[in-house]
Structure 1
């Protein structure tokens, strides 16, 4: 059987660690990673699924908002990942958005973001950590809860923005202890998932590896739906 090709998006330079770890997970479950960067000819590339990795905040113009903070933006990356997400949505491809990837997916579906989170935190730390020190609370009837096989689990946290208004067709399926959205999914799709944490840094946990296993399994299923 042909190995499914998984497009892994990211910036022109850097982000070696996340890219490498996602690629390892893709290979672990029988896929072939395809690293995609700004400037690559998207229309000429062939892939069966997409992972949009984390990184700099997305430009608020993409969800029709004025800047409230002064983070670093990457216009070329925003353009690349917008095109890849739109292509995956149009063709019904399995898509996993990680951190900024979840945020951009939400924006492409018409949602918006909290541009800073410090003022929204009461019970959780605003500290960034790759270690699984924060609690994820899952909706019991969600696909993600069935995949992770637990009502709660531990996750890491490397973000300073998060989903506010949820985009069309997306359902909130996970929050942290402050109620900040940590996961969204589209119940009408075999695999359309956005997670605010970084599962690629938690591959030592079987539960987190299941996300990538399910992505590759979805590549081998008939496609359904678009938009």
Structure 2
């Protein structure tokens, strides 16, 4: 088990290699708001770490076998990571830990609750570009009321877009709290949990925008409250 301080341990998952920039940015945001970031990769044991909160980061598309789907495209899957992060998410759900899923992390979170994905989005776009952009050039319509709106305090908002797939059927217990101009799901949340949210964009690459940092601030705050509520 990780040595605990008065700071909540926020586990940040990712692939076996690479993806250092988004993981670094998540860790930066976690530290800013008083959390202790801990990087986890396939092969690590989340039960040994026993984190106080989690961030499931973005990356490769998810193997459709996980949601009983037939392959429609031929992207680059990472089955080792799918299995590892699926275990991490199920651990978080079992222990009701605060969790933020980013891009593929949001998709996998949805799958773990019985949801499914659109495997390609180009044919579903009429009002938005299918081009990837790290800049906040895409329009997000936020549902009011929702926890997402409480955090972002805007609707519409501007977000970035770096994904091939997106949530189709929404998993059990989740509500859609954000869509783009084509109606494609951009955010889900569980209203019965203190913080269980998935966002399709990459807020860690927009941490220069205060409202985007609020997602990490809320995660760390909930984890801190849970940590302080434990018997000493």
Same-fold call, TM cutoff 0.5: yes
Equivalent of residue 16 in structure 2, options 12, 15, 34: 12
CA distance in 1, matches of 2:48, 2:184: 38
Which residue of 1 is the match for residue 230 of structure 2? none
Question: Structure 1 regions of 5+ residues with no counterpart?
Answer: none
Give the Å deviation of 1:86: 0.2
Q: Is the 8 A contact 2:33 2:216 kept in 1?
A: yes
Give the Å deviation of 1:151: 1.8
Which residue of 2 is the match for residue 219 of structure 1? 223
CA distance in 2, matches of 1:140, 1:33: 31
CA distance in 2, matches of 1:44, 1:141: 38
CA distance in 1, matches of 2:153, 2:59: 28
The alignment partner of 1:96 has SS state of: strand
Q: Is the 8 A contact 2:52 2:226 kept in 1?
A: no
The alignment partner of 2:225 has SS state of: coil
Which residue of 2 is the match for residue 21 of structure 1? 25
Summarize deviations over 1:174-224 as a string: whole Å, max 9, x none.
Answer: 00011000000000000000000000000010010000000011112349x
Give the Å deviation of 1:46: 2.2
Which residue of 1 is the match for residue 52 of structure 2? 48
The alignment partner of 1:214 has SS state of: helix
TM-score by length of 1: 0.96
Which residue of 1 is the match for residue 82 of structure 2? 78
Superposed CA RMSD: 1.2
The alignment partner of 1:212 has SS state of: helix
CA distance in 1, matches of 2:212, 2:110: 22
Question: Structure 2 regions of 5+ residues with no counterpart?
Answer: 228-232
Structure 2 matches for 1:118-157, cutoff 5 A?
Answer: 118-157=122-161
2:108 counterpart of 1:112: no
